[in-house]
């Protein structure tokens, strides 16, 4: 395969840019869950952090939202640690932010 097959990763400045209103609205919609416990974590997360979310944090949150409700809850409650594709610094930071909202409730 040649280099043209794979897009270049986004520059750091793009990843660290603040999320605009439209992207934030889409993210909120994507984060709706079927399990009330997850929704509580997520609602508190947005109440606390939405005004300062970056593209990088939104991407990490999106990866967490790809999980099933039970797997997400296990991570939020600390029953499991992020593994495989989720064992990244950005995902771990966002997970810490989500967990921090539990103590503020």
Residues 26-75: pLDDT tens digits? Answer: 999 999 999 999 999 999 999 999 999 999 999 999 999 999 999 999 99
pTM for this prediction: 0.82
pLDDT of res. 64: 97
CB 40 within 8 A of CB 72: no
**Spatial CA neighbour of 46 closest among 65, 60, 27:** 27
pLDDT of res. 17: 87
CA distance 76 to 51: 22
Greatest alpha-carbon span in the chain: 51
Count Cα neighbours of 76 within 13 Å in the Cβ-side half-sphere: 24
**Spatial CA neighbour of 67 closest among 100, 29, 90, 33:** 33
CA distance 34 to 16: 30
DSSP character at residue 1: -
pLDDT confidence band for 1 (50 / 70 / 90): very low
Radius of gyration of the chain measured on its C-alpha atoms: 15
């Amino acid at each position: 395969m040649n280099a043209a097959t794979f897009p270049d990763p986004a520059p750091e400045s793009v990843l660290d840019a603040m999320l605009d209103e439209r992207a934030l609205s889409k993210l909120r919609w994507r984060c709706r869950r079927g399990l009330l416990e997850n929704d509580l974590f997520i609602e508190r997360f947005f109440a606390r952090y939405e005004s300062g979310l970056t593209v990088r944090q939104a991407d990490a949150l999106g990866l967490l939202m790809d999980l099933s409700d039970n797997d997400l809850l296990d991570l939020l409650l600390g029953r499991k640690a992020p593994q495989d594709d989720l064992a990244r610094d950005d995902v771990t930071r966002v997970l810490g932010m989500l967990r921090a909202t539990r103590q503020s409730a």
